[in-house]
Structure formats: C-alpha cells, structure tokens
Amino acid sequence: MILSKRKFKYYGLLFLKHDLSAGLSVFLVALPLCLGIALASGAPLYTGILSGIIGGLIVSLLSGSPLSVSGPAAGLTTVVGGILLSYNNYPMFMAIVVGAGIFQLLLGLLRLGSIANYFPASVIKGMLAAIGVILISKQLPVAIGYGHPDFWSKEFINLVSSTHLFSNIEELYSSLSSGALIITLLSLGAYYLWEKPAFDKVRFIPVPLFVVGSSIALQIFFKHFIPGIALNETQLVKIPQHLFSSFQLPDFTVFAKHTDAIKWALVIGTLASLETLLSVEAIDKLDPWHRTTPTNRELMAQGAGNILCGFAGALPITAVIVRSSANIDAGGRTKMSAFTHGIFMIGAVMLIPFVINQIPLAALASILVVTGFKLTRPKLYRSMFKLNPKQFLPFVITIVVILFTDLLIGVTIGLILSILFIFYKNYKADYDFKSIFLAIRNKYKVDFDSSKETRLGITTHTIKLHANVSFLDKSPIRELLNAVPHYSCVVIDGTNTKTIDHDVLETISEFCENAKRNGIEVQLKNVARVSLSDIH
C-alpha cells in the first residue's frame, strides 16, 4: 500500500510538472493541424477534431509508446479525399475506416510490426514527397481565397491539362481574395521568421498557434475596419454547435456494393501502419530516455483507434511525428501528455466552438502548404540524387507514378522496381554469424548463447555479411544489432560483401550513433557509414 501511494504521488508530481504543460503545448499544435488535414481531405472539419480526441483519449492509453501522439495524418489525405469523391457517401467511408482498423489489428496480432522494414526507404520517401506535392497543389487555391477544399478533384495530371487549365485559372482569379492572400503571406512569413536566430525568444510559441491566432485577429480587424477585404463565411472554419447531433452508423453494405472497397480498406490500413511505424521509430530515437516502442502493440492500438474512428465518423489516424516531436520538445515524460492533449481537444470543442469558427481557411491552408513543403523539400531531392541509381530511380518513379495515377499504384511500381534491382544484382541473402546466436526467449527479449569470444573481460561478437545485402535484409540485421548486449564489442564485417543497400547502411549508421551510450564499441570492416542528417 505504501509503495502504491508513493508511485501515485511520484506519477502525480510527474504529471503536474511535465505532462500537463506538454499536453497543452501538443494541443495548441494539434488543433490547427486536425482542422487542416480535414480540410485537405475534403471531409467535414469537425471529423479532424474527432480523430484528435480519439487519438488522445483512447490510443494513448492502449499504446506502448510513452511519447507518441496520434491523430489525423497528412499522409492519408490523398487516399481519404479520393474515397470521399468516389463514393460521395460518408457512412460508406466510415465502414472502410473500420475495415482498415480491423486490418491493423490483425497485423498486430500476427506480429507483423516489422512490416515497415520491408519497404525500401527510397519508395517511402518518394511516397511522402508525392503527397507533399499534392498537398501543396490542393491547398494553394484555398490559400488565395477559394472557399472549398475540392478545387482539384482528380489526379495531378488534370490540374494542368489543356482542357481544364484556362477554366481553372479563370475560376481561381474570380475567387482571389485580398484578405485571404494577406493572411497567407503573413502566415508563411511567420514560418520563415521563426527559424531565424532573432526570433529565439518567441520560439516557445508554436508556429501553428501563432498563425491561427494572428489570422483570427486579422479577420476581426478586416471585418470592423476594412470590410471590403474581410473573409466571408465560406472562407472560415465551420464547426457544428452540437458535434454529435448528426451521428451516423457505418454502412457496411459498401463491401458488397463496391468491389474496390476492400482494396481501399487495405490501402488505408497499410499506409496508416507504415506511417505509424516510421513515426514511432523516429520518436524512439528522440526519446531522452531511449525507450523502445513495442511495434505489434502499437499496431493493435492504432487498429482499435481506427475502428472507433470509423464508428464515430472521424478521419483515420496514425502516430504523427509533428505532434510527437512537439510533445518531446515540451518536456513530456509519459503517455499522460498525449492523453491530456485529448482532454484539451474535447474541451475546446465543447467550450469555445465560437473561437474555432473564426479561424480562416487560408491560415489552415498555409500550415498545410508548409507541411507539404517539408515532405517534398528540395534538400530531399538533392540528397537522393547523390545516392546511387538504385535509390534515386525508385524514388523519382514513385513520385511520378503517384502524381499521374494514384498512391497505391505508385508505391507498388516503386517497390517492384526496387526488387528488380535486387534481381539485377543477382541477389543472394546469407549470413555467417561467428560467436553469435540469436534466441527469441519471449515476446520481446533477444539474447545470445554462451559461445562468445572474450578477451580481457570484453565480449566480442562478429557479424559477417556475405554476397549482396538488400533492403529486405534490413529487418533481420536490425533485430540482430538490437540484440547486442550492453558493454560489449561488435564487429560488422563486410569484407566479402559485393554490395550493401543504402537502407542497410542507414540502419548500421544509426546503430553506431546510439551504441556509445549503451557502452557498445562498434568496429566496421569494409562497411561505410552514411550521413544521417541528409536522409531524414
């Protein structure tokens, strides 16, 4: 009893000192992003907030990650928007989200949490870059005053096709709003200035919060002093007064009526799983306490969250790197910070909807334009171009195919191309482990047997890589490296290796970066380290 009281007091103080303020900071970042992603998806804006609430209140408790924050993600906007346009039936979309959640739940139960390791980094980066291009193209019309998120309703090729180009330009010109343009320029300027050293003292204010707050102030100023450029109601956020008054149930007949409904459920489930697994991997690296997220449990938590999102009419959710990194920057220590952000989210909807309804869509569009730019930044293209053609070609082709067809086809083509490169190099995967043997003793514990080479009290393990090492080997190599005991030495020998895929070099380089704090000495033989700053 005394121990439990001490624990309760400890975690209570931890919450009051760290997690409460971190939860507030995450809420201030997440609210405009939830609204903006709903805008980009062509869904009712309140659905983004519902997703943020479910991600905060439900997924945070089910997840094994202490610092990740879940909510609607920019990476799913393209798929969600396409489904909503195709079916034009929200209950059917809800059923598809439920199906995606069930698929994620099955992935976790089948212990497939390492699935992300079997997608080459070049294809994943190409997918995110293409989403960035689409995000920017779809939000620019809103940013200059167009009052609806569905200006571009087809594939990217139709944005500039000869049959639509002049009519599109004419429609955009007629929708041009001076007030929206001013808000957009000032919002983008804020993002630019926040990176400058002169603004260090105000950097504690989240940029999305400043953008939203200043845009509301500008709209009020326009309305009272320059009514000619004030925004109209179609250019502002509109959250219903009674959020749950229009509650609907999913229409599961979609799977019988539409043959491609199952495909879309699998696409959402796969993409949401990939984004989640990539995000928690990044968050684990940023975690000051170097905790590791159990990936299978994370998939099950996200699956349960998406099943609930489908029944509630919310957008599908993933673990999101932007909100999670904001959580770490604000000093979050436990999952209670993510839970608290969900409390603040539902409180805002219930108590101050009149404030949310004053947010200009142009401000949200500006936030999404910056998000899209970060996904498809020029530095990414330069760094990929510097790599070998096996990395650059799948990256570029994935982008092009996604822009001219759809996301699923683009990722599939990129993956096939990467596999063809493996066959071209006459792929042969085999490893020779000297003085090392992996034994999976329980669900997460991995250890070595007693056959070790020990000199002067230091145990040395040698991993010899043979033949051609491709991205398909990333997962077993990562598991092997994670099993190296603390305070030992590991030799990674590539003497007999002809080619090592860049994905594997990234994995080895990341291990080398983190090895010192675990007391592990790493020796590389004919294995090159790569710069991690240029690839993330």
pLDDT of residue 310: 97
Residue 378: exposed, middle, or buried by beta-carbon count in 10 A (0-12, 13-18, 19+)?
Answer: exposed
Q: Give the Cα separation of 180 and 42 in Å (integer).
A: 19
Residues of the chain with pLDDT under 50: 1-3, 151-155, 162, 427-451, 534-536
Q: Give the Cα separation of 363 and 369 in Å (integer).
A: 10
- For the chain, the structural domain boundaries read 17-417, 429-525
**DSSP of 368-421, one letter per residue?**
HHHHHHHHT-HHHHHHHHHS-HHHHHHHHHHHHHHHHS-HHHHHHHHHHHHHHH
DSSP-derived 3-state class of residue 18:
helix
Q: Which architecture does CATH list for 429-525?
A: 2-Layer Sandwich (3.30)
Give every CB contact of residue 125 below 8 A, 6+ residues apart in sequence.
380, 384, 395
Ramachandran area for residue 69 (φ above 0: left; ψ -120 to 50: alpha; else beta): beta
pLDDT of residue 350: 86
Ramachandran area for residue 332 (φ above 0: left; ψ -120 to 50: alpha; else beta): beta
pLDDT of residue 37: 92
Single out the residue of 523, 438, 443, 526 nearest to residue 482, CA to CA: 438
DSSP-derived 3-state class of residue 16:
helix
Please, what's the b/e burial string for 273-295 (b: 16 or more CB within 10 A of its CB; e: otherwise)?
A: bbbbbbbbbbbbeebeeeeebbb
| Phi, psi for residue 321 in degrees, rounded to 5 | -70, -35
Q: Give the Cα separation of 225 and 219 in Å (integer).
A: 10
